[in-house]
Chain A
Amino acid sequence: MSFGQKLQHHLRRNAGDSSVRPVTGHIWDEDGMRLPDAEAHTVEAEVVEGTSLEQREVAVADVSGLTHFLDGVQRTKIVLTYNLLPVVRAFVAAAVRVRGADRRMSTFRGFVRTREALVMPFELCPPERFLEDALDCLDCAPSFPRDMKPADRDHPAAVREAAHRAVGKARAELEQELTRQWCPAAGPHDWLLVDGGIPLSLDSPGSERVVGLIKSHQTRYFTGEEYRRIMELPEGRRTSVFRTHKGDFHSAYSWYVRLREDRAQDPSFGLVRVEAKPGPEAIRHADAISAWILAERCPVSLPDGRWDRMIYPIRDCEQYLKAISPSQVEMDARLI
Chain B
Amino acid sequence: MTMEGEKAGFSADLRQVGRVVATEAKPNTAYEFHFWTGEGSPVGIGTLVVVDAGATQVYGVVIEAWSFTDVASAMHDYIGMEERPDNEPMTRRPEVRCYTAAVLRRDPEEPVQPVPVGPVYLSDDFCVKRSLRMDTYAEKTGVPIGVYQNGEMLSPVLLDAEFLLGPEAAHATLTGVSGLATKTSAIEFLLQSIFATQDNVACVCFNVKGHDMLFLDYPDQSPEDPDLAERYEKLGVGQLTPDDFAMYDALGVPCEAFRDVHYYAPYKEDQFNLSTLRSNPDVTHNVSALAWGLTDILEFAEVVLNRDDIDAKADAFIQYINQTVIRDENGIKLSNGDCLPPVRTFQDLERWFRQLLKHLEDEKGGRGEEQFRTHNVMTIRKVYNRLSNLVTRYRGLLVERDERCADLPWGEFKPGSIYVIDIAKMDAQGQDLVVTRVVSKLREYLEKKKLGVEKCVVVVDELNKYAPSDGPETYLKKTLLDISERGRYIGLVLFSAQQFRSQVHKRVVGNCGTSMYGRMDMDELSTPGYQVLSRAEREKLATLSKGQLMVRHPHFSQAIFVKFPRPNILRGSDGIKLFPEAGELSLEDVAVRVCREYDRTVTTDAVRAVVEESDRESVINALNRIRLECPPDPLAVLKKLAKSQPQVAPAGPGGFGAPRVASAGGDDYDPFEKG
**Which residues of A come within 8 Å of B, CB atoms?**
63-64, 99, 102-105, 295-300, 302-303, 312-313, 315-316, 319
Task: Kindly specify which of B79-87, B193-201, B458-466 makes contact with the partner chain.
Answer: B79-87
Smallest distance from the beta carbon of A12 to chain B beta carbons, Å? 26
Inter-chain contact B80/A298, CB cutoff 8 Å: yes
Inter-chain contact A99/B79, CB cutoff 8 Å: no
Does B89 reach chain A (CB closer than 8 Å)? yes
Inter-chain contact B76/A302, CB cutoff 8 Å: yes
Q: Which of B76, B92, B94 contacts A300, CB < 8 Å?
A: B76
Report the bound CA distance from A103 to B88 in whole Å. 10
Smallest distance from the beta carbon of A291 to chain B beta carbons, Å? 12
Smallest distance from the beta carbon of A146 to chain B beta carbons, Å? 43
4 closest A-B pairs by CB? A300-B80, A302-B76, A303-B72, A299-B89
Enumerate chain A residues within 8 angstroms of B90, measured Cβ to Cβ. Answer: 63-64, 99, 103, 295-296, 298-299, 312-313
Inter-chain contact A299/B80, CB cutoff 8 Å: yes
Q: Could you show 19 A-B contacts with beta carbons less than 8 Å apart? A: A64-B90, A99-B91, A103-B91, A103-B92, A104-B91, A105-B91, A295-B90, A296-B90, A298-B90, A299-B71, A299-B91, A299-B93, A302-B72, A302-B73, A303-B72, A313-B91, A315-B70, A316-B91, A316-B94
| Chain B contact patch, size range | 10 to 19
Enumerate chain B residues within 8 angstroms of A102, measured Cβ to Cβ. Answer: 92
Report the bound CA distance from A299 to B80 in whole Å. 5
Does B77 reach chain A (CB closer than 8 Å)? yes
Smallest distance from the beta carbon of A295 to chain B beta carbons, Å? 5
Report the bound CA distance from A105 to B76 in whole Å. 20
Smallest distance from the beta carbon of A297 to chain B beta carbons, Å? 8
Enumerate chain B residues within 8 angstroms of A299, measured Cβ to Cβ. Answer: 71, 77, 80-81, 89-91, 93
Inter-chain contact B76/A104, CB cutoff 8 Å: no
Report the bound CA distance from A104 to B95 in whole Å. 10
Inter-chain contact B72/A312, CB cutoff 8 Å: no
- CB 8 Å contact bits of B77-114 with A (1 = contact, 0 = none): 10111100001011111100000000000000000000
Report the bound CA distance from A182 to B73 in whole Å. 35
Q: Which of B261-308 contact A (CB under 8 A)?
A: none
Report the bound CA distance from A300 to B80 in whole Å. 4
Given the known A-B contacts A298-B80, A299-B77, A302-B79, are A103 and B89 also in contact in the complex, defined by CB atoms under 8 Å?
yes
In the complex, what residue of chain B is closest to A316 when comparing beta carbons? B91
Enumerate chain A residues within 8 angstroms of B77, measured Cβ to Cβ. Answer: 299-300
Smallest distance from the beta carbon of B468 to chain A beta carbons, Å? 56
Q: Which of A99, A102, A103, A299 has the most C-beta atoms of chain B within 10 angstroms of its own C-beta?
A: A299
Inter-chain contact A298/B94, CB cutoff 8 Å: no
Enumerate chain A residues within 8 angstroms of B72, measured Cβ to Cβ. Answer: 302-303
Main secondary structure of the interface of B (DSSP, over half): loop
Inter-chain contact B71/A298, CB cutoff 8 Å: no
In the complex, what residue of chain B is closest to A296 when comparing beta carbons? B90
Enumerate chain B residues within 8 angstroms of A319, measured Cβ to Cβ. Answer: 70
Inter-chain contact B81/A298, CB cutoff 8 Å: yes
Main secondary structure of the interface of A (DSSP, over half): loop
**Which residues of B come within 8 Å of A, CB atoms?**
70-73, 76-77, 79-82, 87, 89-94
Enumerate chain B residues within 8 angstroms of A300, measured Cβ to Cβ. Answer: 76-77, 79-80
Report the bound CA distance from A160 to B94 in whole Å. 37
Smallest distance from the beta carbon of B75 to chain A beta carbons, Å? 8
Enumerate chain A residues within 8 angstroms of B80, measured Cβ to Cβ. Answer: 297-300, 302, 312
In the complex, what residue of chain A is closest to B77 when comparing beta carbons? A299
Enumerate chain A residues within 8 angstroms of B82, measured Cβ to Cβ. Answer: 297-298
Report the bound CA distance from A22 to B82 in whole Å. 50
Report the bound CA distance from A102 to B82 in whole Å. 21
Report the bound CA distance from A27 to B263 in whole Å. 81
Report the bound CA distance from A186 to B419 in whole Å. 77
In the complex, what residue of chain A is closest to B39 when comparing beta carbons? A104
Enumerate chain B residues within 8 angstroms of A302, measured Cβ to Cβ. Answer: 71-73, 76, 79-80
Report the bound CA distance from A107 to B76 in whole Å. 25
In the complex, what residue of chain B is closest to A298 when comparing beta carbons? B89
Enumerate chain B residues within 8 angstroms of A298, measured Cβ to Cβ. Answer: 80-82, 87, 89-90
Q: Which of B73, B80, B90, B94 has the most C-beta atoms of chain A within 10 angstroms of its own C-beta?
A: B90
Smallest distance from the beta carbon of B83 to chain A beta carbons, Å? 11
Enumerate chain B residues within 8 angstroms of A105, measured Cβ to Cβ. Answer: 91, 94
Other than the given A302-B73, A312-B89, 13 more pairs (CB < 8 A) read A99-B91, A103-B90, A103-B92, A296-B91, A299-B80, A299-B91, A299-B93, A300-B79, A302-B72, A302-B76, A302-B80, A312-B90, A312-B91
Report the bound CA distance from A103 to B89 in whole Å. 8
Inter-chain contact A303/B76, CB cutoff 8 Å: yes
Smallest distance from the beta carbon of A195 to chain B beta carbons, Å? 15
Report the bound CA distance from A63 to B92 in whole Å. 13
Enumerate chain B residues within 8 angstroms of A295, measured Cβ to Cβ. Answer: 90
Smallest distance from the beta carbon of A141 to chain B beta carbons, Å? 39
Smallest distance from the beta carbon of A314 to chain B beta carbons, Å? 10
In the complex, what residue of chain B is closest to A100 when comparing beta carbons? B92
Q: Which of A63, A295, A312 has the most C-beta atoms of chain B within 10 angstroms of its own C-beta?
A: A312
Enumerate chain A residues within 8 angstroms of B70, measured Cβ to Cβ. Answer: 315, 319
Enumerate chain B residues within 8 angstroms of A315, measured Cβ to Cβ. Answer: 70
Report the bound CA distance from A63 to B93 in whole Å. 16
Smallest distance from the beta carbon of A312 to chain B beta carbons, Å? 5
Enumerate chain A residues within 8 angstroms of B71, measured Cβ to Cβ. Answer: 299, 302
Enumerate chain A residues within 8 angstroms of B73, measured Cβ to Cβ. Answer: 302-303
Smallest distance from the beta carbon of A166 to chain B beta carbons, Å? 31
In the complex, what residue of chain A is closest to B78 when comparing beta carbons? A300
Report the bound CA distance from A160 to B89 in whole Å. 42
Q: Which of A63, A104, A105, A302 has the most C-beta atoms of chain B within 10 angstroms of its own C-beta?
A: A302
Enumerate chain A residues within 8 angstroms of B93, measured Cβ to Cβ. Answer: 299, 312
Smallest distance from the beta carbon of A322 to chain B beta carbons, Å? 11
Enumerate chain A residues within 8 angstroms of B89, measured Cβ to Cβ. Answer: 103, 298-299, 312
Smallest distance from the beta carbon of A261 to chain B beta carbons, Å? 13
Report the bound CA distance from A327 to B247 in whole Å. 50
Enumerate chain A residues within 8 angstroms of B81, measured Cβ to Cβ. Answer: 298-299
Inter-chain contact A104/B79, CB cutoff 8 Å: no
Q: Which of A295, A298, A303 has the most C-beta atoms of chain B within 10 angstroms of its own C-beta?
A: A298
Report the bound CA distance from A266 to B508 in whole Å. 73
Report the bound CA distance from A296 to B82 in whole Å. 12
In the complex, what residue of chain B is closest to A315 when comparing beta carbons? B70
Enumerate chain B residues within 8 angstroms of A303, measured Cβ to Cβ. Answer: 72-73, 76
Report the bound CA distance from A242 to B21 in whole Å. 50
Report the bound CA distance from A207 to B39 in whole Å. 35
Report the bound CA distance from A316 to B77 in whole Å. 15
Report the bound CA distance from A247 to B71 in whole Å. 45
Inter-chain contact B87/A104, CB cutoff 8 Å: no
Report the bound CA distance from A104 to B92 in whole Å. 5
Report the bound CA distance from A319 to B81 in whole Å. 20
Report the bound CA distance from A171 to B533 in whole Å. 50
Report the bound CA distance from A327 to B90 in whole Å. 31
Report the bound CA distance from A299 to B93 in whole Å. 8
Enumerate chain B residues within 8 angstroms of A99, measured Cβ to Cβ. Answer: 90-91
Enumerate chain B residues within 8 angstroms of A64, measured Cβ to Cβ. Answer: 90
Enumerate chain B residues within 8 angstroms of A63, measured Cβ to Cβ. Answer: 90
Report the bound CA distance from A64 to B88 in whole Å. 12
Enumerate chain A residues within 8 angstroms of B79, measured Cβ to Cβ. Answer: 300, 302
Enumerate chain B residues within 8 angstroms of A103, measured Cβ to Cβ. Answer: 89-92
Report the bound CA distance from A302 to B78 in whole Å. 11
Report the bound CA distance from A195 to B580 in whole Å. 81
Report the bound CA distance from A315 to B90 in whole Å. 13
Enumerate chain A residues within 8 angstroms of B91, measured Cβ to Cβ. Answer: 99, 103-105, 296, 299, 312-313, 316
Smallest distance from the beta carbon of A303 to chain B beta carbons, Å? 4
Report the bound CA distance from A316 to B89 in whole Å. 14
Smallest distance from the beta carbon of A105 to chain B beta carbons, Å? 6
In the complex, what residue of chain A is closest to B84 when comparing beta carbons? A298
Report the bound CA distance from A313 to B89 in whole Å. 11
Report the bound CA distance from A303 to B80 in whole Å. 11
Smallest distance from the beta carbon of B662 to chain A beta carbons, Å? 99
Report the bound CA distance from A316 to B93 in whole Å. 9
Report the bound CA distance from A99 to B89 in whole Å. 12
Report the bound CA distance from A313 to B90 in whole Å. 9
Report the bound CA distance from A299 to B75 in whole Å. 12
